[in-house]
Structure 1
Amino acid sequence: MGTTGLAAEPLVAAASLLGATFACRGVRATIVEVEAYGGVPDGPWPDPAAHSYRGPTARNAVMFGPPGRLYTYRSYGMHVCANVVCGPAGTAAAVLLRAAVIETGEQLARARRGDAVPSQALARGPGNLCQALGITMADNGIDLLDPDAPVRLGFGEKLGERPAPRAGPRVGVSRAADRPWRLWVPETAAVSAYRRSPRAPAPGASD
């Protein structure tokens, strides 16, 4: 698929990432849950829940492209989260990686996450995913399609006979809280639970 496949609207790019693989520092995992995010108010995908909504800053500049770059940030100032930049260069959009199934390197992932964590939960949740794979804030801006990069994205894997992806509201956002931009592979134990932000409007009162 490559960069061309990621130079698409956020929801299309998000769907393409289900079943893709991430390889990082001795661990390889298959992505099973993602969330799409858009950009600025006057762009093609206005999204008040996106970091890029108010325009480019030093923090979010990577979100404005080119596609195929890694955008990292800290959730609550603690947990590193990873996004795949999508859309055409100059237009902000990204896909948050929410959960993955560890395919190889489980012992390394377990060393990073702890011996008591069940296998299906090693990369469940965006912060846990980054911890299991060893993704850090220093990886921000990496070209994920560069075969020599320490974090690599691969589209060789397919979902096969798994059920069609499901869609629903994004987790924990207080704006655009009903937008069905979270996609996941059903019947997969690694997928995280939906939690609505207590600051979000009542269901049905948001886009």
Structure 2
Amino acid sequence: MAIRRSTNSVWGENMKKILGIFMLIAGIVIAVTASSASFAYFEADREIHLAIVPDDNELIDLVPLQPYAYINSNGMLVIDLSSANGNWEEGLGEGVSPDSIYVFEHVFGVSNHLWENVTICMNIEYSGSGAISFFEGEYTNETVGVDTLHVTILPGETAEIGMIIDSEGLDDGDALSGTLNFDAKLGECPVVG
């Protein structure tokens, strides 16, 4: 007795095998395509809130400590030893005299109110007449003013900055002016000398 197989069942089994192979190939193609894709784009909108405040309310404050320094209408620290200073009153001095040296302690302060509770190195650089220089803290006869001052300020502390004015060689009616640049960096200032 001979067993005869139906060609339909052989054809069905072969079709199943071929279909299985195609599905396996399609799965591999999808897996390879998905794994070789690289990120191309992301977009999101987020809020940022910044308050623009006067120098004496910043995270790193510039605070007037003497009437010779004040915060102007633009919110910026100004040092002004003239009758143009808003703190000047009739009958008070209007400037410095020629061929003199004036020392003013604690003219303004630089405070560290950063939220991270970190120490900063504040570089204070003066550009202008060589007759004006700055120092930190109390003046002693050995204190030397400089036009570039490096001050370490601990969290929550205020460095008090004074200034020396040397009007040697200047005449009545001359004026001195310049600009202070403040640049803070994270960490203590390097020790010089």
Give the structure-1-normalised TM-score.
Answer: 0.22
Q: Give the strand-richer structure, 1 or 2.
A: 2
> Which of 1 and 2 has greater Rg?
2
Give the structure-2-normalised TM-score.
Answer: 0.23
Higher relative contact order (CA 8 A, sep 6+): 1
